[in-house]
Amino acid sequence: MRPHALLSTLTFALLALLSFSCVQDNQIRDNSFDCELFAYTDTIYYINATQNVIVNPITNASGTFTASPDGLAINGETGAIDVNASETGLKYKVTFTPEGSSSSCETFVTVGGVNYRDGIYVLGQNQIQAAPIYNGVPGLLLPCDDGDDDDDDDTSCDFDVEDQNGISLEDLGFEISSKGVFDLQKTVENGTFGAIPVNGQVLDVELLYRLPDLSNLALNSIPLRFFYFETVADIPQALLDDIEEKNDLINERRGGNWVNFRSLNETRPAGKPRPPFVVIVARLE
């Protein structure tokens, strides 16, 4: 090959390489995303009894959306959140990974409602109350009035609403106040776990309630799983680990005698916050 021909070939190859590099560099710049732009119009949303509540990210962007913990009904492609279809009373971390990027952006969204902490309550140590956590914030006051248990007005919280069969948790022996606080001592004394409570018994129930907040008294619900043990030593290590690590556990205990209780033998999948586990223990040892 002649020298000038070789030089022309090398020049062409170099120009092609530079051109490709510029295109690639432009693509990288095009795929960049300012995480300050990733947000929703609010940080807390409430279910609505009369219409669907769908909220979208403020900025449209291509990529993938995920949420943690599980329970938020989010479209993985658009980031749209179906509030009514989501687990309520939880704060979620929403993660957005822009298309073509290895980095991600995060924001937080809360779906209004109540939650109960996974925990162990030793009756012999006067740990007899399981109180609700409102809007994912421990200690945040519920929007209930300060009156008595009269729930006939629009300023009262209405916990333990009857289900479609006309049955409430109170009918099953659960003792719950107008502000959603379970009295675990009375719940056991009421025979919820039987006249003679069975060590290791597990009961699954659903608490229905209405709150006078921006949900406008829409019917809300939360599944709950109650355990009963005689002593702390009777609690399986797997259950202790689950509560400590906020992960899921294997339920190997049988359910109660009530027809609407469910006896489950399954693993609560990792990342799922529901149902909360309320472990009632009669005494330390």
Q: Which one is the CATH code of 35-111: 1.10.10, 2.60.40, 2.70.50, 2.20.25?
A: 2.60.40
Instruction: Parse the chain into domains and list their residue ranges.
Output: 35-111, 114-283
* Residue 88 near residue 19 (C-beta atoms within 8 A): no
User: How many residues appear in the chain?
Assistant: 285
Q: What is the pTM of this model?
A: 0.78
Rg (C-alpha) for the chain, rounded Å, is 27
CA nearest to 278, candidates 177, 196, 190, 174 = 174
**Cα–Cα distance for residue pair 218/234, rounded to 1 Å:** 40
The CA angle 105-112-157, to the nearest 5 degrees, is: 170
The 3 state secondary structure assigned to 200-240 is CEEEEEEEEEECCCCCCCCCEEEEEEEEEEEEHHHCCHHHH
Task: Give, for all 285 residues of the chain, the pLDDT tens digit.
Answer: 555 554 455 555 555 554 444 433 333 334 578 899 999 999 999 999 999 999 999 999 999 999 988 899 999 999 999 999 999 999 999 999 999 888 899 999 999 999 999 999 999 999 999 999 999 998 999 999 866 555 455 669 999 999 999 999 999 999 999 999 999 999 999 999 999 999 999 999 999 999 999 999 999 999 999 999 999 999 999 898 888 765 332 222 333 333 333 333 334 445 677 899 999 999 998
